[in-house]
A and B are shown apart, each in its own frame.
Chain A
């Protein structure tokens, strides 16, 4: 299951690595990740993660960190049916 998280966190030393470390340690693979400055005292981190574990659990584990102010968990986006660019063939054609 894939999840997207927006994490508001402090600008203090180690805050980003603390949050990222927690995500992997708790059994979530990191996909995309971006970190930007939110304001003078904080940062905002956007990550996409995947795991068989519930995203809600990761949210609560992140919220437990003193450096983390707020976590928004977006419901996993419905996975679009993907085609491989191969035209279906019928037995007859084959």
Chain B
């Protein structure tokens, strides 16, 4: 006979344990979409402390979680059911993986006993996502849930961040267990930067005649902007940034020569091709940044500073490598002297020579000028999310950013459809910011359904839709590299985007004339709810400069051949 002192176990469902573990890991908001196998979790969500945003497609949920993760530097959380729900997340997971974004992804799965039987809405999401996650789990016991959730958040957020997937079979989410939550163990501290390597880097910087620094997205990810700016103030080194490094340096800083790469600034590309020492901080020699790799910065020796040892000498051999958090390395590298007035004057000369011009011929609205006007209309507190295409490159070139977290762009994966859900994630994370989604007529259609999410939750996102009635960047390449053989790029039959927005309950205006721009931008930024400004632009406008594929960065095209 049992004694009366025995305490009855406190049984809870796997879903209740999961929700508690999420809350204990500091989660306040999640993005998702319910369905069959994830229903026990949605059942436990009711009355919990988590605010769930119902996106209207799982890809929207994943991309919103991605942007939330970028802005907060904490894992964004998205959740979906098995099968198509899970596969619809895949683009968002890949997006986060390519740009090193912390994210925790929770998918429902068919019950364990049915796994491997081609059950209804069964898909091996664990297997499908292996190449695009930092780590992943299939939960096999209810009692494993707290430990797995803790570890997932630690992995997603520490070191080089990335997405972590938790696949949750329905018998686990609905199963019962007696689990006492225990907090995660402290994550092991990252190694300090190697003293000898920092000394070697300092000596190389002192000896270099034409040193240059590339600032990458890792500086924002690791919250090292201040340490980086202090390093530049101390050393006076000229700086270029990658797409994801935009905002690391203030746009008007005299040391800053602009963004490098395929659509980079001429000053940056000339500086990088002429330097004799390249210090690369939190960047990974992406092909869009380097152009033809063998001819990239050919006379330069390389100092590579990154938290990820697997990036060292992956594409370009490093002469000195420092694998550590960026801030202590930047603080520890102390060159005796780096000033080279001749080289600095040369960089300043290029900056002046290649300064953007806004006196384009043509009668219509010139998108680069419009985007510059947008930045000038609200210089502080503006966060811009981008879609992918010509408008994305124009944003990178012509908007100004005081901080890299003001520029949310799909860099590595180049995901059309990112902009609108990213704006939702950014606005939820930063409610006080003015969040503008700059999109194109191709990209906006990839996640247009998220207009319903804006309306449903009253999320105040401004959409600036640049409509050139074409898939502009593809059209530009067909014009230049495929002899004008236009194939499936014309979108003259686009819907009336303003009417579409209004149908979702979003205010909208359309403009076509340059003299309308100023009033329309003021209207967009001052409307006290979500709004869309639809702007018709010239369908033949191109992004310049352009480094043709297979060419080195200094062989930029500056206009049509």
A61 touches B310 (CB 8 A): yes
B residues 129-149 touching A (CB-CB < 8 Å): 130-131, 134-138, 140
Set of chain B residues within 8 Å of A56, measured between Cβ atoms: 313
**Could you tell me if A17 and B155 are in contact, using CB atoms closer than 8 angstroms?**
no
CB-contacts of A51-72 with B (<8 A):
54, 56-57, 60-61, 63-67
User: Given the complex, which residues of B lie within 8 Å of A31, measured CB to CB?
Assistant: none
For chain B, residues 148 to 164, give those with C-beta under 8 angstroms from any C-beta of chain A: 155
A54 CA to B312 CA, complexed, in Å: 12
Chain A: CB-nearest residue to B126 = A14
A67→B133 CA distance, assembly (Å): 13
A18 located at the interface, meaning its Cβ lies under 8 Å from any Cβ of chain B in the complex: yes
Indicate if the CB atoms of A17 and B130 lie closer than 8 Å: yes
B309 touches A60 (CB 8 A): yes
Asked whether A25 lies within 8 Å of B131 as measured between CB atoms, the reply is yes
Residues of B within 8 A of A75 (CB): none
The answer to whether A64 and B135 touch (CB under 8 A), given A14-B126, A18-B130, is: no
Docked CA distance A25–B133 (Å): 14
Q: Which B residues between 336 and 387 are near A, CB-CB below 8 angstroms?
A: none
User: Does B127 contact A17, Cβ atoms closer than 8 Å?
Assistant: yes
A13 at the interface (CB under 8 A from B): yes
B309, A14: Cβ atoms under 8 Å?
no
Instruction: Output the residue of A56, A61, A64, A65 with the most chain B CB within 10 A.
Output: A64
B-contacting residues, A27-76, CB 8 Å:
54, 56-57, 60-61, 63-67
Residues of B within 8 A of A (CB): 126-127, 130-131, 134-138, 140, 155, 308-310, 312-314
- A57 near B138 (CB under 8 angstroms)? no
CB of A57 to closest CB in B, whole Å: 6
Q: Which B residues lie within 8 Å of A18 (CB)? A: 130
How many inter-chain contacts with C-beta < 8 Å in the A-B complex?
Answer: 35
Main secondary structure, interface of B, reads mixed
Bound form: Cα–Cα A80–B474 in Å: 51
Shortest CB-to-CB span from A33 to chain B, Å, is: 17
Q: Are B134 and A14 in contact (CB under 8 A)?
A: no
Are A54 and B313 neighbours in the complex by a CB distance under 8 Å? yes
Closest to B314 in A: A57
Q: Cβ of A64 and Cβ of B309 under 8 Å apart?
A: yes
> In the complex, are the beta carbons of A13 and B138 less than 8 A apart?
yes
Given contacts A14-B126, A57-B314, contact A63 B134 (CB under 8 A): no
Q: Please measure, in the bound complex, the distance between the C-alpha atom of A61 and the C-alpha atom of B313, giving whole angstroms.
A: 12
In the complex, what distance in Å separates the CA atom of A17 from the CA atom of B124?
13
Q: How near does chain B come to A67, taking the closest CB pair, in angstroms?
A: 8
Q: Is the CB of A66 within 8 A of B135?
A: yes
Q: Which residue of A lies closest to B323 (CB)?
A: A60
Tell me the complex Cα distance, A45–B484, Å: 53
| A63 near B131: Cβ-Cβ < 8 Å | no
B313 close to A14 (CB less than 8 A): no
Give chain B residues whose Cβ lies under 8 Å from the Cβ of A61. 310
Q: A18-B130, A60-B309, A66-B134 are in contact. List 8 more A-B contacts (CB 8 A).
A: A13-B126, A14-B136, A17-B130, A25-B131, A61-B310, A64-B309, A64-B310, A66-B135
With a cutoff of 8 Å between Cβ atoms, the chain A residues found around residue B140 in the complex are 13
User: Can you name 20 A-B residue pairings with CB atoms under 8 Å?
Assistant: A13-B126, A13-B137, A13-B138, A14-B130, A14-B136, A17-B127, A17-B130, A18-B130, A21-B130, A25-B131, A57-B313, A57-B314, A60-B309, A60-B310, A60-B312, A63-B309, A63-B310, A65-B135, A66-B134, A66-B135
In the complex formed, the residue of A with least CB distance to B312 is A60
Which residue of chain A has its CB nearest to the CB of B138?
A13
Tell me, in angstroms, the Cα distance from A56 to B310 when the chains sit together: 9
| A57-B308 Cα distance, complex, nearest whole Å | 12
A-B pairs, 6 with minimum CB distance? A60-B310, A66-B135, A61-B310, A60-B309, A64-B310, A21-B130
Could you tell me if A66 and B308 are in contact, using CB atoms closer than 8 angstroms?
Answer: no
Which residue in chain A gives the minimum CB-CB distance to B139? A13
Residues of A within 8 A of B130 (CB): 14, 17-18, 21
Whole-angstrom CA separation of A25 from B138 in the bound complex? 22
**Which chain B positions have C-beta within 8 A of A57?**
310, 313-314
Residues of B close to A63: CB separation below 8 A: 309-310
Q: Is the CB of A66 within 8 A of B310?
A: no
A14–B138 Cα gap in the complex (Å)?
9
List of A residues within 8 angstroms of B134 by Cβ: 66
Min distance, Cβ B94 to any Cβ of chain A, angstroms? 13
Count chain B CB atoms within 10 A of each CB in A17, A60, A67 and give the residue with the most. A60
How far does the Cβ of B116 sit from chain A's closest Cβ, in whole Å?
13
Which chain A positions have C-beta within 8 A of B313? 54, 56-57
Q: Considering the chains assembled together, what is the distance between the CA atoms of A25 and B130 in angstroms? A: 11
Identify the closest chain B residue to A18 (Cβ).
Answer: B130
B255 CB to closest chain A CB (Å) equals: 32
How far, in whole Å, are A89 and B309 apart by their CA atoms in the complex? 53
With CB as the reference atom, state the residue of chain A lying closest to B135: A66
Nearest-neighbour CB distance to chain A for B113, whole angstroms, equals 16
Minimum Cβ distance to chain B for residue A24 (Å): 10
Distance in Å: Cβ of A8 to nearest Cβ of chain B: 17
Question: A21 to B310, alpha carbons, bound, how many Å?
Answer: 16
Q: Complex formed: what's the CA distance from A57 to B314 in Å?
A: 7
Residue of B nearest to A53 (CB): B314
With the chains together, A17 CA to B127 CA distance in Å?
Answer: 9
On chain A, the residues within 8 Å of B155 by CB distance are 66
Chain A residues near B135 (CB-CB < 8 A):
65-67
Shortest C-beta distance, A74 to chain B (Å), equals: 19
The distance in angstroms between the C-alpha atoms of A13 and B116, with both chains bound, is: 14
A21 touches B309 (CB 8 A): no
- Residues of A within 8 Å of B314, CB to CB, are 57
B138 touching A21, Cβ below 8 Å = no
